[in-house]
Structure 1
Amino acid sequence: MDGRWQAGEGERIAVLDKYRLEPFATVRAASVEQAERALDSAHAAFRQGAPTPYERGAVLERAARLVEERADDFVRTMQREAGFTAADGRGEVARAVETLRLSAEEARRLVGEVVPIAGAPKQAGRMAFTLRVPLGVVLAITPFNSPLNTVAHKVAPAFAAGNAVILKPSTNTPVTAYRLAAALVDAGMPAGFLSLVNARGAALQGLMDDTRVRFFAFTGSTEVGRGIQRVAGLRRTQMELGSIAHTIVCDDADLDRALPKIVAAGYRKAGQVCTSVQLLLVQDTVMDVVAERLAALVAALPHGDPFAPDTVVGPVISEREAARIDAWVEEAVRQGATRLAGGPRRGAVVPPTLLAGVDTSMRVGCCEIFGPVVCLVPFTTLDEAIERVNATPFGLAAGIFTNRLLDALKAAERIEAGGVHINETSSARVDLMPYGGSKDSGFGREGPRYAIHEMTEERVVSISTL
């Protein structure tokens, strides 16, 4: 271990291989004192001043190249600690590289605007403009289901804006975050502007309570997000929280295009994506053909060992979560749902599952599954489908497949979600777009340009020339 890294002083945390369910790494939690030292360092670095926008962009560009060069190591790490297949891991690396590069670009063009102050009465001889200035220390708390790209979406825009960052990754997947932090340090991240702490308990609480943290960037459950928001008070936050993602298939949809996209969106990363298709709303006149074709596609998905070259669906994050998902599916079947594809779990592997006959009395129909389970729900009119989407407390993203322009525009206008994707699924995200939710799915936006805007504040400057 070189001088840039210190061993944690707290408890040992075993990081499991999610398929074999055996430890492949051990990390140490940070002590309360270590967390405080990290905050001291971040605050001092920010007070001394960030590198120039050009220099910040250069660091992020070099980090992007290093992540690309180290892609194989990142993929192997995620196969073990996240249970990703090689394809999921490669996708995560490619997107993280793009996120770093986008953040580098945005670092160099962070601007305010001219304020037309001379257009106000009695303001002759004055001019005004705004600056966007960094907030200070950002505390980034990241999840297991995107252990590389979501970390990049927190850290890179925060640094691009000129903030110092303390990263607290999921203890399920800390090694991937460590590898990204190492790439950033190797790329020239200045001392104090990035700290990675495996903080939990009192150490994490101490970080959150300290008012030197000026911004919270969080992705995780709605319940935890509410707790962070209570602590944050008047400090600013970005909350990407829970979801029950819907995709609508209308009777005029091009099924040859729609169904493969739905399968990919429902089962990639074993369905552990906030925008994974959970409820597939299908117009009743095409339900039979959709159910038959989708059942065949889902049943054919290879699943199991993420190191096997043909595996499409690997394990979920833990055997405990697999048991929960399996219990919810069995409960739904007992309550009248029909299993069109799927079967019993093996360890942490839940076979790709397709259910029909699901209603809101079943947990699979009203709670976030976060697993490889898609539920078919019929509807008659588009108004009925939109009402079903809006009836949940969540609003992260939705998709609709239709070739009727007016129906597409109606859905875009009326669905209460942060994103509505036409002829795409709920999971159709591109890293440069604004990404975030409404209602219990949170607020604030990822996407480097939009996140940088949130991680800075506007300062007006006026000059009198008379």
Structure 2
Amino acid sequence: MKRNLFINGQWKEAAKYNALYAPFSGERIADVGHADDADTEEAIQAAVAAADKMASLSAYQRTTILSKAADILETRKEELARLLALEAAKPIKTARGEIARTIQTYRFAAMEASRIHGETVPLDAAPGGEGRIAFTLRKPLGVVAAITPFNFPFNLVAHKVGPAIAAGNTIVLKPAGQTPLSSLVLAEVFQEAGLPDGALNIIPGPGAIVGEKLVRDPRIKAVTFTGSPAVGIAMKNKAGLKRVTLELGSNSALIIDHTVEISDELIDRCVLGAFSFSGQVCISIQRILVHEGKYEHFLNQYKAKVEKLVIGDPLNESTDMSAMIHEKEVTRMQEWVDSAVMRGAHVVTGGTALNSRIFPPTILTNVSADEPVSCEEVFGPIAIVSSFSTLEQAINEVNHSRFGLQAGIYTHDIHSAMHAAEKLEVGGVMINDFPTFRVDNMPYGGVKESGFGREGVQYAVEEMTEMKLITIRL
């Protein structure tokens, strides 16, 4: 299968095509066009040319386009789930969940398109403001550049494309190199839904060429990026006066205090939170801190449940975990585990790659705080379990990180819950749930090196619009 670039409503031949291989089987599944500097320039020009038309669409028209897109995705959901399982090695039952969330995200975007509004301002509260009416409007920025990762190639794209369209912007989308097919499908979907030509341009290609030009070009008015902290920080430094939204790294932690029963439901949440999609999730549980009175019981139950996970072909209905996105990630997992073990860590289960593509679900204990597997973002199927004696100690351990995306705490003590909510240095605190919890209309983003700005459709629309003040002297 050969897939071209999508620019100005047309499929365009690229000068170069890269082979795309399935992470699990290694089979060649497509040859995908890779944009160069000239293609990127053409995509930006198309988005600029379409900006006035997009801005002039009524709220009703934008709502209708987004609703139709969601309807089309609904009719194709099984096909798209299988595509996702093939190109990302996401287990099919997990892939179906992502497609369902993607549809919901576009429906949220359709709703937000119809309720973008300003407010009145009481100018007469200030001396000299008498005899005037003032109000604000929210106007589209223009061209938005969206740079997206491999791990949620449908839903994280929806969190950028949906709000951009809802706000009346045009988009240049650079999808991740391993998962371009999921993004290119959107060209068909939005064209069928009635989006104007040039409003959505999709150009897979190298970050050093496509990403660099999008970030530096003054015609781009906003950049929304999900990826590594190193790339995101460099991007922000190059972006000038553009709006920048960054969703970066994490090493999310979960606290389980002495008031909580170690139930099957709790264990299941910890298994799901740490090992869903092989831990390749921004808010995957990486560190679990359990009160010393519950520690041994939790660890035994956790180990038993983790060892029941089914590893295999992502297209099999029974599969819970499959291949990691690249073989180099399996190598990195092994190196990090081996490094921790050399300094005294204990492998409770897993710990050794099954082959060049699959790393098993792994539980570690007694890990030094300065080991990469503890202080960096693992982004793989590894969870560290440790004990604590006081809540303050646990909170301090969670905060001893350069990241701060989300954290969770299980407790039956309202005072402990609210104290943790106040003191945890993260963008979101999940009480009596895991840090991996996210629904698509909530504000989502981090502090410290976890990011800048907020996603969640309503909040992303605010990031992608400009406030304009209008005053009338009576």
TM-score bracket, normalised by the shorter chain, equals over 0.9
Aligned to 2:421: 412
Give the SS at the match of 2:293.
helix
Give the SS at the match of 1:181.
helix
2: CA distance between counterparts of 1:302 and 1:203? 39
Shift of 1:223: 0.3
The one-letter amino acid of 2:375's match is C
Aligned pairs for 1:116-155 within 5 A: 116-155=122-161
CA contact (8 A) 2:216 2:240 kept: no
2: CA distance between counterparts of 1:5 and 1:89? 28
Q: Are 2:36 and 1:31 equivalent residues in the alignment?
A: yes
1:21 maps to which of 3, 19, 26: 26
Q: Are 2:387 and 1:378 equivalent residues in the alignment?
A: yes
1: CA distance between counterparts of 2:195 and 2:358? 39
Aligned to 2:17: 12
Aligned to 1:340: 348
* Count of matched residue positions in the alignment of Structure 1 and Structure 2: 465
2: CA distance between counterparts of 1:199 and 1:108? 34
Aligned to 2:52: 47
Instruction: Give 5+ residue unaligned stretches, structure 1.
Output: none
Aligned to 2:242: 235
Q: Are 2:224 and 1:217 equivalent residues in the alignment?
A: yes
1: CA distance between counterparts of 2:218 and 2:270? 44
1: CA distance between counterparts of 2:250 and 2:15? 33
Give the SS at the match of 1:190.
coil
Q: Are 2:110 and 1:104 equivalent residues in the alignment?
A: yes
TM-score, normalised via structure 2 length: 0.96
| Structure 2 CA distance for partners of 1:277 and 1:203, relative to 1, 3 Å | closer
Aligned to 2:330: 322
Shift of 1:443: 1.3
Q: Are 2:179 and 1:173 equivalent residues in the alignment?
A: yes
2:458 maps to which of 445, 449, 464: 449
Aligned to 1:283: 291
Q: Deviations over 1:100-146 (max 9, x none)?
A: 00000000000000101133223332100000111110000000011
The one-letter amino acid of 1:255's match is I
1:403 maps to which of 401, 412, 415: 412
Which has the larger displacement, 448-457 or 201-210?
201-210
1: CA distance between counterparts of 2:432 and 2:15? 49
The one-letter amino acid of 1:93's match is I
1: CA distance between counterparts of 2:194 and 2:338? 52
Shift of 1:34: 1.4
Shift of 1:21: 1.9
Shift of 1:8: 4.2
Give the SS at the match of 1:91.
helix
Give the SS at the match of 2:107.
helix
The one-letter amino acid of 1:20's match is S
Aligned to 1:366: 375
Give the SS at the match of 1:6.
strand
CA contact (8 A) 2:110 2:166 kept: yes
CA contact (8 A) 1:13 1:171 kept: no
| Structure 2 CA distance for partners of 1:306 and 1:315, relative to 1, 3 Å | same
Instruction: Give 5+ residue unaligned stretches, structure 2.
Output: none
- Calculate the aligned-residue CA RMSD, in Å: 1.4
Aligned to 2:92: 86
Q: Are 2:208 and 1:199 equivalent residues in the alignment?
A: no
Give the SS at the match of 2:41.
helix
CA contact (8 A) 1:8 1:27 kept: no
Shift of 1:9: 2.3
Which has the larger displacement, 191-200 or 9-18?
9-18
The one-letter amino acid of 2:396's match is E
CA contact (8 A) 1:168 1:199 kept: yes
1: CA distance between counterparts of 2:261 and 2:443? 27
CA contact (8 A) 1:35 1:199 kept: no
Shift of 1:343: 4.6
CA contact (8 A) 2:337 2:351 kept: no
TM-score, normalised via structure 1 length: 0.97
2: CA distance between counterparts of 1:124 and 1:370? 57
2:277 maps to which of 257, 260, 269: 269
Which has the larger displacement, 201-210 or 270-279?
201-210
CA contact (8 A) 1:303 1:352 kept: no
